[in-house]
Amino acid sequence: MFDVIAFDADDTLWHNEHVYRDVQGRIIALLAQYHSAEWIERRMFETEVRNIEHYGYGFKGFTLSMIETAIELTEGRISGAEIGQMIELTREMVKAPVVLLEGVEETLTELSSSYDLMLITKGDLFEQEAKIIRSGLAERFSKIEIVRTKTPETYQALAAKHRLQPERFLMVGNSLKSDILPVVAIGGRAVYIPYETTWAHEVVPEDELAGKDFLRLSHIRELPPLVENLKAKN
């Protein structure tokens, strides 16, 4: 039924969002003398989203956005030492171990015996390559694509590049905005497996999901039985 089963990486195969939120929380604590935590967090989010078109996704853009926010909210009063502390905190993100989600290795092993597996992740090339290597999963995938963003046009281009028919393409991911709806829009199939927390920028209002045909699972271990069930129906 499927020529390729593709997976998102961050928060689908390994933990990622909590690394950002942990560092963000520590930066907010560092800046708490200047404003309330709620106000700082809101401004950080606004700055992150505004800067995506300039820096893309990843640790580098996050770091620059945090520094920019700190300078703005302190009206330039933040010290070089405090900025140095922020940089050191974000360096910890780069060195953080890649921790696989429970059930990932077994699921990929089972599916790879019958299907061609592909990894599609967005973000900084250097950062994503490093995480893929540290994950130990690279050899499970016949194709690995690191893209700047995930839109219907992105998936159409990947389908053309790899000579894939959208209806024979299955995407698995934790982000409705990036992994699910763009694939559905080009006629592909998608399986949504929510992560324990979602970055606000990736949240999709419920009313925008009306009429969208995708599947939802609570755990990645449920994926192989689902795929076999879909295959049996065809």
Q: Which residue type does 220 have?
A: I
Q: What is the pLDDT of residue 199?
A: 67
Structure tokens at 212: 């969208």
Residue 216, strand partner residues: 192
3-class secondary structure, 96: coil
List the pLDDT tens digit at each of the 234 positions of the chain: 799 999 999 999 999 888 888 888 888 898 888 888 888 888 888 998 888 888 888 888 888 998 999 998 888 888 999 999 888 888 888 888 899 999 999 999 999 999 999 999 998 898 899 999 999 999 999 999 999 999 999 999 999 999 999 999 999 999 999 999 999 999 999 999 998 877 667 777 787 777 888 999 999 999 999 999 988 876
Q: What is the pLDDT of residue 225?
A: 95
CA distance 137 to 73: 41
Considering the chain, tell me which residue range(s) the CATH 1.10.150.240 domain(s) occupy.
17-95
Considering the chain, tell me which residue range(s) the CATH 3.40.50.1000 domain(s) occupy.
4-14+98-233
- For 17-95, CATH gives 1.10.150.240
**Parallel, antiparallel or unpaired: strands 169-173 and 143-147:** unpaired
Sign of CA pseudo-dihedral 71, 74, 79, 84: negative
Q: Work out the burial of residue 17: count CB atoms within 10 Å of its CB; fewer than 13 is exposed, 13-18 middle, 19 or more buried.
A: middle
pTM of the model: 0.87
Q: Report the topology of domain 4-14+98-233.
A: Rossmann fold (3.40.50)
